[in-house]
Structure 1
């Protein structure tokens, strides 16, 4: 009996090692397949047993670098499988909690939908509370959370405004600036690593001017973005792009040309392609047609005729 339990535990550790290897390779689609298979064969894909097994392993011996690395790989695997790779390091929620929420659902699709909503709600609360240190617009967009990008940009801008460097007791304090997302970018651009500068330091004037310029540029950029039309690309509830219907293709309307406006094909003989496309000769139609048009232009409108 003990041998049988040991064999089961070994199989579960082999599964954990397999998932860790998938994560190491960045093969999150393969990880998603194991999660999808959980509802088909729980013995083959024992996701519900992953963290209980790891907990027993932790209690049986001291944690080592391999154990810590396994935990990180499993976290990346789970977040990558639900399509939220950028949130792996940004959120404080434990991987065990995410896995528990996944295995409580009725199917993998339902798990993806509910877990993505659960994690996106956490991100929304973080942004509202100013916890934006590890969040990036690019990462949110890549994970299908583009609807949170404008809110994140606004939060970063407000943080940058509050971090305006001020001179206090003969020094320019740069700590608030270095703690802000945009401020760190500014300091890197100016190659400033200190937490404060003396008031007489020649870099003070340059820094203050650069701060004001960057603030104005960002504000103008935000106004332009707010006035622009939103992107039309859509994402499904599980984060994948909505595929366009590739059935009937739109056809161009063909204008009927009368004999008076028909293009003479001989005009293009001997020309280069550029001339034929951008410099066609104007065609004035038949002489009788021109004469009839001129006579019509000289006549008064119907409302003025008696």
Structure 2
């Protein structure tokens, strides 16, 4: 059983496609198929069920996957350990990201990281917060920036707060009366009309849902999208009021909209998470050290 074969196996398992796995590993598809078939023969049972449009893991494949990831992680850690000894940081760093990070520390952090460690291959993967936390726990990615859950820190991961944020109401400019223009909007007001906000797969959705539940109010999101720019486009069309992140750069100085605070306030955090209980790789440790340096 070779590391290269395990790399191909993990790629097929994550991509659910031999074609996509071959593209990810920069080899032709027959090479992937032959290696997987040889691995199945070696282990004595099939690892994938070949369906018309995708492949899925068999029970044997499910059993092998955590061992394969652990082997690859151990090999990568050994390589990086000796890269550390030589003073030349290299390897890879896979980061998950949610939307709305343009105005945070993340772009400048990654820019400085690239300048200092050009031999580290950094890859970004976008998804919802719950999905990214799961990928970090499983070791599929090294770390992620997510919306922290309202009830504390995400379980099974180490974390560091990146941004303290709040939810605001966004409505067409001039749509509130003069006497209300400078006052916060209550949650009771919001339930009277169509609401545009994040979908249930977003970590931000949990903060909004819990705030309404605490007031015993029913929240019906008529138009659910995690794309803040699309939320505002729907507001501009007069469809409803958006509940969105105040830190989003698309809210800055747009005369079409009034940005109104909420009463009570709905506060949230975006946090950087990585796998707990495991020694962080050298590239991840370097990123955390650089973050500390830039923050200071």
User: What's the TM-score once normalised by structure 1's chain length?
Assistant: 0.28
**Structure 1 or 2: more helix by fraction:** 1
Give 1 or 2 for the bigger CA radius of gyration: 1
User: What's the TM-score once normalised by structure 2's chain length?
Assistant: 0.29
**Structure 1 or 2: more strand by fraction:** 2
Bigger RCO (CA 8 Å, 6+ sep): 2
